[in-house]
Amino acid sequence: MDSKEPKKTEATRFFRSFRHAAAGIAFTFKHERNFQIHCFISVLAAAAGIYFHLSAFEWVIVLILIAGMLSLELMNTAVEKTVDLVSKEYRPLAKAAKDAAAGSVLVFAILSFILGLVIFLPKIFG
């Protein structure tokens, strides 16, 4: 009987981690406008992919871009909330951390936009 208890505890912790992750996504969606915008654009990109009958490779690229963008927005929120928790007053290093996290989102957003153009423009105008 003792051998079953650790497995149950491990399984419980494993599934609880999914609940925590879902709570983080829900919190970010509820409170972060940029995450909401990226979710909306992701839905548009998926709808466009269905409409234009993307190839399997094009879908892989689009899905990686969507997941990467949403993941970076979640990490940006984590950095911002952590910095805010540690320091309420203005500190140059806190600003630098928040700006760098936001910059990573911007870099990936630009890449996503460019690759989106590469994939969708030929289908729109071709």
**Catalytically annotated residues:** 73
Compute the distance between CA of residue 78 and CA of residue 45 in angstroms, rounded to an integer. Answer: 25
Which candidate, 86, 77, 99, places its Cα nearest to that of 25?
Answer: 77
Amino acid 40 reads: F
